[in-house]
Amino acid sequence: MRTLNSQLSFAAIHEMAEKIQEREVSPVEIADLMLKRIERFNPKLNAFVSQTAELAAEQAKQAEKDIMQGRYKGPLHGIPIVHKDLYYTKGIRTTASSKILKDFVPDYDSTVAAKLADAGTVLLGKVQTHEFAAGMTTNSEYFGPCLNPWNPDVVPGGSSGGSGSAVAAGMAYLGTGSDTGGSIRIPAACCGVVGMKPTYGRVSRYGIIPMAWSLDHAGPLTRSVLDASLCLDVMSGFDPKDESTVDLPPPGIRMYSDGLKGVKIGLPANYYYDNLDPEVETAMQATINKFREMGAEIVEVSLQLMKHAQGATMAIMLGEMFSAHEQWLDKHPEDYGTDVKMMLENGRYVPASAYLQAQRARHLLTDDFLKALTGIDVLLTPAMPLTAPRADDDELYEKSLRLTHFAAPTNLTGLPSLSMPCGFSPSGLPINLQLIGRPFDEATVLGIGYAYELNTDWHKKHPELSIK
């Protein structure tokens, strides 16, 4: 077997798919490259809960055989991936990074896991989540903290921190994620990769351990926007086992051949650009200028009700979390991590009236966003108001709450939202922008993001991983 250039570990999925089709590399070689990188870097990063090296080798051999015999399934065939450890995987433990489920082995696959398997992907293993997806640091009290490959002293974000870390470190080409208050887009921003939260109902959540049913979304973390589109197309679709899903074709991606001439990008006049850390403000101003340079028209828009977004989100999230965990919490309170237990206990005391008022506010906030998007292609915001905080920061709890400020509103409204690289801080930490679109218009969100990606190099920068 050839020794592959380690740069291939940071290649995009669409680039690897072309190499596989042209038989420049084989799925077996790519899987071997990933497994060697996991062996080398995971002991430090602690991204994986469970590794499936034997299964990956077997699936890679089958993919190679199928492709050689003319049974090519598409751009994900032979591509090594990881699943967030909330996704049920038949015969492979699914722990939610919690002591409570440390030995739980499902007897069926989640819908998304099954779809990606059918597309010919190669499963490298299950990666860390903040326990039960209930946090922004992916610091598991039971399995230990997952680290950020850009700087192991800062958090990888959460709750899909394992996917963000693994994809950024070149240990996988795709990591699945779930997003309840930003849990795909925040680790994407902390780790400098792409995270796509689709419209509520676009992707089935069946077989994914819930955090809050009416806020949960499933989506991909990748190293390029085009890759996110390819993965979302496979993950999408109606599922009779998830009554929230809609019967629509895969979203695809809109290609802009003439720059962004004629595209209107909305900048919220309030909330999203308030209280930014200086490095984020600088990166976003450069990003806005870049979109102008590409031909987009920048239009100021107003969001009138944003002051209610965080309160409404928390009332719904905490109430639904407690409902999902009540039996476990009453029987095994000592098995929860300290921070998650505190959130659940807070949920115990959310009054029904507060929950119902939050649902009313949700409808008003959705209308507010839709008015702002009238005549606008997308809204442009920072993904987070700050860069990834240090894991030992005395204000980590407060800062981790700030991480959600710009992400959580579109969990509440269900609007499609893309987090993608747009810069770095002076200390070398990634900074991401966020694009927000109209319901089920992922094609436009992804297309504008891809146009920006083609005109910048941020997505081509990768951590040096000087790990001993």
**Cis preceding-peptide flag for 159 (omega within 30 of 0):** yes
pLDDT bracket for residue 3 (50, 70, 90): low
Q: What DSSP character marks residue 401?
A: H
**In whole angstroms, what is the distance from residue 271 CA to residue 292 CA?**
22
**In whole angstroms, what is the distance from residue 124 CA to residue 226 CA?**
22
The CA–CA distances, whole Å, from 360 to 23, 304, 351, 414 equal 55, 15, 15, 15
- Residue from 26, 140, 163, 183 carrying the catalytic annotation: 183
| Domain boundaries defined on the chain | 6-460
**In whole angstroms, what is the distance from residue 161 CA to residue 164 CA?**
5
Q: Is 159 a catalytic residue?
A: yes
Percent of the chain with pLDDT over 70: 99
- In this model, does residue 28 exceed pLDDT 50? yes
Helix (H) or strand (E) holding 380: strand 378-382
Tens digits of residue pLDDT in 332-377: 999 999 999 999 999 999 999 999 999 999 999 999 999 999 999 9
**In whole angstroms, what is the distance from residue 44 CA to residue 432 CA?**
25
- Alpha-helical runs (H) found in 271-419: 278-293, 309-331, 338-348, 352-372, 396-403, 409-413
Tens digits of residue pLDDT in 206-256: 999 999 999 999 999 999 999 999 999 999 999 999 999 999 999 999 999
Tens digits of residue pLDDT in 265-300: 999 999 999 999 999 999 999 999 999 999 999 999
- Residue from 140, 159, 163, 229 carrying the catalytic annotation: 159
How high is the pLDDT of residue 468? 39
Beta-carbon contacts of 463 under 8 Å, excluding residues fewer than 6 positions away, are 149, 150, 168, 169, 192
Cα-to-chain-centroid distance, residue 73: 24
Residue type, 389: P
- In this model, does residue 387 exceed pLDDT 80? yes
SS3 135: coil
Tens digits of residue pLDDT in 80-105: 999 999 999 999 999 999 999 999 99
Q: State the greatest distance between any 2 C-alpha atoms of the chain, in Å, as a whole number.
A: 64
Q: Is 417 a catalytic residue?
A: no
Answer yes or no: pTM beyond 0.85.
yes
Whether 73 and 66 have beta carbons less than 8 Å apart is answered as yes
- In this model, does residue 383 exceed pLDDT 60? yes
Upper half-sphere CA count for residue 402 (Cβ side, 13 Å): 17
Compute the mean pLDDT over every residue in the chain, rounded to the nearest whole number. 96
Whether 74 and 63 have beta carbons less than 8 Å apart is answered as no
The CA–CA distances, whole Å, from 171 to 54, 174, 321, 374, 421 equal 16, 9, 31, 41, 19
Mean pLDDT of 260-269: 97
- Residue from 9, 26, 84, 178 carrying the catalytic annotation: 84
- Alpha-helical runs (H) found in 119-217: 161-168, 185-191
The architecture (CATH level 2) of 6-460 comes to: Alpha-Beta Complex (3.90)
Q: Is 9 a catalytic residue?
A: no
SS3 259: coil
